[in-house]
Amino acid sequence: MKNPGKIIIINIAVTLLFIVFLNFLSEGVLLIYGLAEQQRIMIDERANLPNYADDRETAKLHFQEFNQLSTQFEPFIGWSRKPFHGETININAKGDRIHKNETTSEAISPDVTSIDFFGGSTMWGTGVVDTETIPALFNKISKIPTFNRAESNFTSRQSLERLINLLTVEAETINSVVFYDGVNDILNLCRSENQVGEHGYTDYIRKLLESNGNKSPENDFWKYIDFTFLRGTRSLIKLVREEIINHSVKTDDYWDRTMNCDNQPQKAQQIASALIKNWEIAHVIAQAQGIKFLGILQPVAFMENPKLAQDLHLNVGWNNELRKQYKTVYPLIQSMMRERGYDFLLDYTDLLNRDRDIYIDFCHLSKNGNMIIAEQLYRDFMRK
């Protein structure tokens, strides 16, 4: 009779080897999927919009370069873009998107020698080449040197921190400042997992720090066990489940759980109040430094005409849930702006409400939209 103990050991060993093989096979599948997904996202369907009919190849190149950009940690503000030099996008060592400034001494106001623009990805220029961003177009109109200090996904609080960093750490000489905010405060802070005063990566960083805080020899041991036997298979199962959900019809209830400003009036009020307060603080800092300040509530497609929502599919799924958040919070911001009556705050919400191809999604603009903003900014800035 064969040794039963030996048979059991062999069976256990074979089972463990099979589990290890399945785990690493799953890791291989995930790697192949990741490479394929990386190639897929390099093709941005927005390049096919009518907005780019005059030069579609440049639009495709722009979005390809955009998807090649990477970020790095930056104290207090969270992140900034790494240097990049392409045909449509150029970023310097400070993380700023750059363009060649045009200057004519006769055209420059003696009170305004340069302007620094702050904001999120719309001000940064997602969807346009370097020469078609709002700061670049403002420079072309005014011949006043402009600097693009915006960064993708920045809230007004991060713009404020960026201004402070420039004045204290980098000791920049700043003459005039434009804050262009609203979209990202709502996009990020109305998410169910976020609170006022946080930013888009708060929840991710919080979980990462909590994970690192649990380090110990025992936990490290189980992590190695997990990596060897389970992680790949578990991640593949999770991916398959997510893909099944992504390709199924998500209910309104599913999307409703992702955002909560529309059903939490107190949170909506706090977000609106915090945005106004960030502008007020930026204005006080600017005044103390002899800097001119202008705060703009930026346009968002959800507040525009119904035809636009239909053309850009903004009335279904996640976009429809986003629309609820902006319809809830934007009126609160506008009401506070009217109550305070500050001459350094302007509402551009209705500026793009016209029947033409301006938006490329719910907030980003093509060149024609950026030109409208730049022209209005020039008129308002010179008037003030």
List, for residues 180-201, the tens digit of each pLDDT value.
Answer: 999 999 999 999 998 888 888 8
Q: Which of 353, 350, 349, 351 is nearest to 308 (CA)?
A: 353
> pTM to 2 decimals?
0.84
Measured on CA atoms in the order 240, 241, 244, 250, is the torsion positive or negative?
A: negative
**Which CATH entry fits the domain spanning 50-192+258-383: 1.10.40.50, 3.40.50.1110, 3.30.460.80, 3.30.450.20?**
3.40.50.1110
Separation between Cα atoms, residue 297 and residue 40, nearest integer Å: 34
pLDDT digits (tens, 9 = 90+) for 19-53: 777 776 777 766 676 656 555 555 688 999 999 99
Domain boundaries, the chain: 1-41+203-250, 50-192+258-383
**Secondary structure (H, E, C), 210-223:** HHHHCCCHHHHHHH
pLDDT tens digits along 303-362: 877 667 667 777 777 888 999 999 999 999 999 999 999 999 999 999 998 767 899 999
| Arithmetic mean of pLDDT, 160-188 | 94
b/e string for 123-139 if b means 16 or more Cβ within 10 A? Answer: bbbbbbbbebbbbbbbb
- Helix (H) or strand (E) holding 136, with range, is helix 134-142
Average pLDDT over residues 271-276: 98
Q: Which residues is 73 bridged to in the sheet?
A: 79
pLDDT single digits (tens) 204-233: 888 777 766 666 666 666 666 766 667 767
Q: Is 111 left (phi over 0), alpha (psi -120 to 50) or beta?
A: alpha
